[in-house]
């Protein structure tokens, strides 16, 4: 009785129910008339629709429905339905790509399947360990209020020291915001001489900064803080700074610290059992035309080497050579300990 494991349990239930319920998706590998792709919401979605989806549909005649949300939700759905993934192309941060890829739930792109891959530096495939390819990237550095911070710091080390002294109030991401592992813990620790095994440098630094610090828990929180005077400076992403700048928050500016901003790429991946037409969508995501428009409208760095940014955007893009790539794969085993230590000693 008790030796019945969850596979047999679920298998039994599945056998009982699948016969009663029609399958919502067809297994056949024949080209479907529409596919499902993913996007963040807001402006991002509008631009995805106008660039990648438009190019894909024009070339193939296949429609693409956009599913909004975030990568951990999409990847969970793929993991829960490995045989018939509900999504055909997922965009995701690279730590999740590697984690899910290792379970063989993703298919590796090649130049034969995705011709435009030839124009993307190998760097953007290697960072996914081959399980996908990055189509754009942002950089995590220092953002500040020009009116209130006249003499901004040049490096992360300077930022930490002057925050600890109380020269301004800083806004840092809370640890419940997933990217803060890279943007805050890894980045400051690395800049202050720590290692993956030893995060004492960043813990001590944040302890010193804490009296002059507020924490943000969603990306719009940070803008709220700077706008309302709750904070004057903080760790944030370049693309988001420029988007806010263009919407009227012209008091913002961004600095790539001398240690190097944190490379924050977005990868495109195809789940193993998604139909081959999904490669065509990824090919559109890597094509120079759609990428140029995407980069110019979103202020993100793009990965196709033939992209020509507009004059306005060119100066805003942080070159990827001047960023630091967090070792997401090697970080993974340490993360639980990091967060536990953070909770016990910092608690934010």
Partner 1 sequence: MAFSPWLSAPAALFLIAFFVLPLTDNALRSVASQAAAGANYLKLLTDPYYLWVIGVTIALSAAVTLASLVLGYPIAYFLVRKAGRWSSLIIFLTVAPLLTSIIMRTFGWRVLFARRGLLNVLLLDAGWIERPLALLNSPVSVVVGLVHVLVPFMVLSIASVLQGINPRLGESARILGAGRMRTFWLVTFPLSLDGIATGSILVFMLANGSFVTLLLLGGGSLQTLPLLIYQQFTTTRDFAFGAAMSNVLLVLALLCLLLQLVLIRRRGVKT
Partner 2 sequence: MIRRLLPRKVRAESCAPDAALLLYVVLFFAFMLLPIIIVVVVAFSATEYITFPIQGVSLRWFRRIYEYRPFFNSLRVTLEIAFLSALFGALLGVPAALALTRWKHPIASLAMTFLLSPLSMPFIVLGFALLFFLSAVGFGASFLSLLIAHTVVSLPYVVRTVAGVYRGLSPNLEESALVLGASKWQAFRYVTLPMIRPGIFAGCLFAILLSVDNLPISFFFGSPATSTLPVVMLSYLENSFDPSIAAVSTVQLVFALTFLLVIERFYGLKGMAPAS
Binding mask 253-292 for partner 1 (x = CB under 8 A): ----------------------------------------
Pattern 194-233, binding to partner 1, x per CB under 8 A? --------------------xx-xx--x--x---xxx---
Binding residue for partner 1, selected from 50, 99, 158, 329, defined by CB under 8 A? 99
Query: CB of residue 194 vs partner 2: minimum separation in angstroms?
Result: 30
Measured CA to CA, the distance from residue 345 to residue 209 in angstroms comes to: 13
Partner that binds at residue 33, options partner 1, partner 2, none, CB closer than 5 to 8 Å by kind: none
Tell me: does residue 70 bind partner 2 (CB under 8 A). yes
| Site mask for partner 2 (CB under 8 A), range 18-47, x = bound | x--x-xxx----------x---xxxxxxx-
Question: Residues 9, 14, 43, 63: which binds partner 1 (CB under 8 A)?
Answer: 9
Contact at 8 Å (CB) between 51 and 294? yes
Task: Give the side-chain half-sphere CA count within 13 A for 11.
Answer: 5
- Coil vs helix vs strand at 328: helix
Tell which phi-psi region holds residue 30, choosing left (phi > 0), alpha (psi between -120 and 50) or beta.
beta
Give strand pairing partners of 163. Answer: none
Which of partner 1, partner 2, none interacts with 192 (beta carbon under 5 to 8 A by kind)? none
H or E element: which one contains 24? none
Q: Are 317 and 239 in contact (CB under 8 A)?
A: no
CA dist., res. 291 & res. 137, Å (int): 12
Q: Give the nearest distance from C-beta 237 to partner 1 in angstroms.
A: 17
- From residue 229 to residue 248, the character string flagging contacts with partner 2 as x (rule: CB under 8 A) and all else as - is -----------x--xx--xx
**Which one of residues 124, 177, 186, 237 is an interface residue with partner 1 (CB under 8 A)?**
177
Q: What's CA 50's distance to the chain center, in Å? A: 21
User: Segment contacting partner 1 (CB under 8 A): 125-133, 140-148, 168-176, 255-263?
Assistant: 168-176
Residue 101-140 contact track with partner 2, rule CB under 8 A, x = bound: ----------------------------------------
| Contact (CB, 8 A) for 272 and 137 | no
User: Judged by CB, which is closer to partner 1: 7, or 58?
Assistant: 7
Q: Which of residues 72-101 bind partner 2 (CB under 8 A)?
A: 73, 76-77, 79-81, 84, 86
Choose the one of partner 1, partner 2, none that binds residue 181, judging by a C-beta under 5 to 8 angstroms depending on kind. Answer: partner 1
* Radius of gyration of the chain from its Cα atoms, rounded to whole angstroms: 22
| Residue 112: φ, ψ to 5° | -65, -40
CB 90 within 8 A of CB 38: yes
Alpha carbons 202 and 214: distance in angstroms, whole number? 16
Tell me, residue by residue from 305 to 324, as one string, x for binding to partner 1 by CB under 8 A and - for no binding: --------------------
Strands 63-68 and 34-39: parallel
Asked whether position 340 contacts partner 2 by CB under 8 A, the answer is no
Binding of residue 67 to partner 2 (CB under 8 A): yes
**How big is the CA angle at 39 (ends 36 and 43), to the nearest 5 degrees?**
135
Q: With helix as H, strand as E and coil as C, how does 197-245 read?
A: CCCHHHHHHHHHHHHHEEEECCHHHHHHHHHHCCCCEEEEEHHHHHHHH
Q: How far apart are CA 123 and CA 133, in angstroms?
A: 9
Select the binding partner of residue 67 from partner 2, partner 1, none (C-beta < 5 to 8 A, by kind).
partner 2
Report residue 318: phi and psi, to 5°. Answer: -80, 120
CB 293, min distance to partner 2, A: 16
> Interface residues with partner 2 (CB under 8 A)?
10, 13-14, 17-18, 21, 23-25, 36, 40-46, 65-70, 73, 76-77, 79-81, 84, 86, 218-220, 223-224, 227, 240, 243-244, 247-249
């Amino acid at each position: 009785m008790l030796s019945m494991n969850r596979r047999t349990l679920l298998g039994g239930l599945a056998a009982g129910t699948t016969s009663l319920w029609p399958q919502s998706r067809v297994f056949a590998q024949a080209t479907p008339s529409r596919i499902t792709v993913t996007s963040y919401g807001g402006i991002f979605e509008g631009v995805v629709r106008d660039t990648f989806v438009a190019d894909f549909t024009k070339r193939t005649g296949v429609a693409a429905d956009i599913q909004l949300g975030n990568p951990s939700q999409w990847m969970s759905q793929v993991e829960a339905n490995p045989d018939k993934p509900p999504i055909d192309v997922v965009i995701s941060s690279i730590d999740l790509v590697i984690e899910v890829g290792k379970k063989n739930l993703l298919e590796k792109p090649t130049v034969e399947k995705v011709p435009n891959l030839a124009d993307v530096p190998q760097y953007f495939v290697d960072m996914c360990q081959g399980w996908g390819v990055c189509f754009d990237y942002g950089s995590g550095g220092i953002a500040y209020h020009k009116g209130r911070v006249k003499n901004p710091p040049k490096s992360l080390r300077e930022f930490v020291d002057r925050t600890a002294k109380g020269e301004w109030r800083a806004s840092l991401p809370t640890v419940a915001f997933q990217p803060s592992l890279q943007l805050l813990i890894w980045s400051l620790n690395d800049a202050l001489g720590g290692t993956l095994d030893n995060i004492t440098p960043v813990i001590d630094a944040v302890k010193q900064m804490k009296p002059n610090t507020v924490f943000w828990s969603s990306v719009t929180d940070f803008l709220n803080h700077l706008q309302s005077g709750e904070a004057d400076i903080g760790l944030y992403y370049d693309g988001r700074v420029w988007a806010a700048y263009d919407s009227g928050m012209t008091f913002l500016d961004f600095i790539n610290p001398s240690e190097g901003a944190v490379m924050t790429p977005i990868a495109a991946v195809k789940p193993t059992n998604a139909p081959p037409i999904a490669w065509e969508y990824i090919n559109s995501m890597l094509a120079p035309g759609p990428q140029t428009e995407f980069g110019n409208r979103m202020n993100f760095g793009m990965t196709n080497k033939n992209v020509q940014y507009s004059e306005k955007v060119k100066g805003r893009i942080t070159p990827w050579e001047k960023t630091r790539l967090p070792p997401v794969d090697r970080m993974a085993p340490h993360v639980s300990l990091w967060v536990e230590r953070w909770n016990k000693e910092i608690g934010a």
